[in-house]
Structure 1
């Protein structure tokens, strides 16, 4: 899924969050100020981005009989190919070379690449093993994990309401552990890998755009991905070239499917307030959850419903607090500007 601040990290099973701007300068103020310029287009881009991330399990389902390792390896290779074409089209080679020439940026993006590869692999493994519900859980709790990482690693201080949300989330994990007969490791692995990914990408900030970031990360992963593809081919278990042109092009489409929602997200983030982006992020795991029930017919006993209900309650509390805090901040900024204008007059 592009990069946003950790309190609104997109639950993207698919892409590198790139450094997205927070609210646009023209964002509407709380109390009904100006509507953001291009807000309608921004909402359309946001819905397209999170909608595509939400239906990603359907794409993996049609890639059978390819396994998780082959799918991720191909996704990396074809994503890089698509990104390099895109860089050529937008004349972004200078930014790409600058990122590779900076040891700090390259090192940070290399670590991010390892984390996103782990995230992609776990997500693909979950979907192919009829655990899409657990995959959706991972992205539902990702914002909560990001908040927790901020407390533990960045020494951020939480408001009482945020502590309540985290407490309810912890209770939800306990309930779901009972429901699953063990800790939901797939969900936790997804949330933690993407949470740490967002934390690492925060060190890059706005220095690297979304396309350059994804290009560098996939470039770092390409040697290992090509090695995996070679090993699978030598073992006779690769499917890329042995199941007809339709399967080949579906595998190759992984590059487009990875990069396109990332670009949509970047376009949305430039046009929408952070609070709107923060609410849109739940569309992807919600879509995955619905697909798991309606299309994949995964079991959902009452105790799992109880655990998910607690997760959703904690997210409602966290999101409401985020929106309130955002609006208070906007009011404070507006008041400060008014005082500055009065003083200047």
Structure 2
């Protein structure tokens, strides 16, 4: 029990660190304001690849890389995820550079709700009534901004869609984040190298002409990209998804606070209304998840009490069985 508690505490710490780093990442990209977004993206790919390669060398993880590259199906999935994560990074970097951090924050608030829709469409997951209501509220927030104010939160939708599709495909390929990211950066590496060393011709594209502080920032892109992901991966194996679901709102919340109180982005009436709908949807969504988890635990406790004495049954196992049964029932349309 003590070991499990320690493991959970470690998971919470890793998760909080990951989402704090993601939440304050805009500070880093703001510091690169003189560098074009696509140029920053190329540096992000190159230095992430190098950083991951060094880590793989010390952790002796090349065996899994070779095994993965031999699977045509996994390679095909990773080719697509490379494009989607590259687009997600580019949209995010561009949003920060043009003072649309609020829209980036909104995109990552929308993402969990978009993931629910993707699960329903592609994984045959059925939505509970409260989940449907949460998705409807979020949709209303976007529609109000479109109809009343005549604007579409393109950045927010773009970030939510690209990251949602990325998550769905990575779930399909069933590969750890570390190995997957290395292969994804490997796929994007030729494009990044070609752009920086052949096509790019800006004041910052030649490292030998830059000040050492700027080059240090550009090289740090590998750490800024990889370190929070490693923390997240460590958290994911120690925590339940419900717990991670709570902690994930740290990221967009920090972005929101930075945008409004540090960088002075205007929190206009259209954004106020849209955010209000999204926040209300997330409150309902989270409450529904908690309530469903509590009900499953109650059922597990009842089953544990009625289980035969000669059979060892744990609450965690029973909750997993109940969740599995719920999922199977939903897939059968019951």
Measured against the shorter chain, the TM-score band is 0.7 to 0.9
Q: Once structures 1 and 2 are overlaid, which stretch shifts more, 145-154 or 76-85?
A: 145-154
Does 2:172 match 1:203?
A: yes
- Residue among 105, 115, 132 paired with 1:146: 115
> Residues 300 and 236 (structure 1 numbering): CA distance in 2 closer, same or farther, change over 3 Å?
closer
Q: CA deviation at 1:274?
A: 2.0
> Residues 334 and 221 (structure 1 numbering): CA distance in 2 closer, same or farther, change over 3 Å?
farther
Higher helix share: 2
> What RMSD over aligned residues (CA atoms) do the two structures have, in Å?
2.1
- Residue among 19, 35, 39 paired with 1:66: 35
TM-score (norm 2): 0.87
> Residues 231 and 325 (structure 1 numbering): CA distance in 2 closer, same or farther, change over 3 Å?
farther
Query: What are the Cα deviations for residues 224-264 of structure 1, in whole angstroms up to 9, with x where unaligned?
Result: 11122124434666254432111111101111111111111
Does 2:211 match 1:244?
A: yes
8 Å Cα contact 2:204-2:210 kept in structure 1: no
8 Å Cα contact 1:240-1:251 kept in structure 2: no
TM-score (norm 1): 0.85
Q: How is 1:172-187 mapped onto 2 (pairs within 5 angstroms)?
A: 172-177=141-146, 181-187=150-156
Other-structure match for 2:133? 164
8 Å Cα contact 1:292-1:298 kept in structure 2: yes
Other-structure match for 1:326? 293
Other-structure match for 2:193? 226
Query: What are the Cα deviations for residues 168-199 of structure 1, in whole angstroms up to 9, with x where unaligned?
Result: 00111122335764111111000000111111
8 Å Cα contact 2:18-2:228 kept in structure 1: yes
Structure 1 runs, 4 residues or longer, greater than 6 Å off: none
Larger Rg: 2
Q: CA deviation at 1:299?
A: 0.5
Q: How is 1:122-133 mapped onto 2 (pairs within 5 angstroms)?
A: 122-133=91-102
* Structure 1 runs not aligned, ≥5 long: 1-25, 28-33
- Residue among 22, 38, 45 paired with 1:53: 22
Q: CA deviation at 1:298?
A: 0.4
> Residues 234 and 303 (structure 1 numbering): CA distance in 2 closer, same or farther, change over 3 Å?
closer
- Residue among 171, 185, 193 paired with 2:162: 193
Other-structure match for 1:107? 76
Query: Residues of 2 paired with 1:233 and 1:310: CA distance?
Result: 42
Other-structure match for 1:315? 282
Query: Residues of 1 paired with 2:14 and 2:202: CA distance?
Result: 42
> Residues 337 and 242 (structure 1 numbering): CA distance in 2 closer, same or farther, change over 3 Å?
farther
Does 2:57 match 1:88?
A: yes
SS of the equivalent of 1:55 reads helix
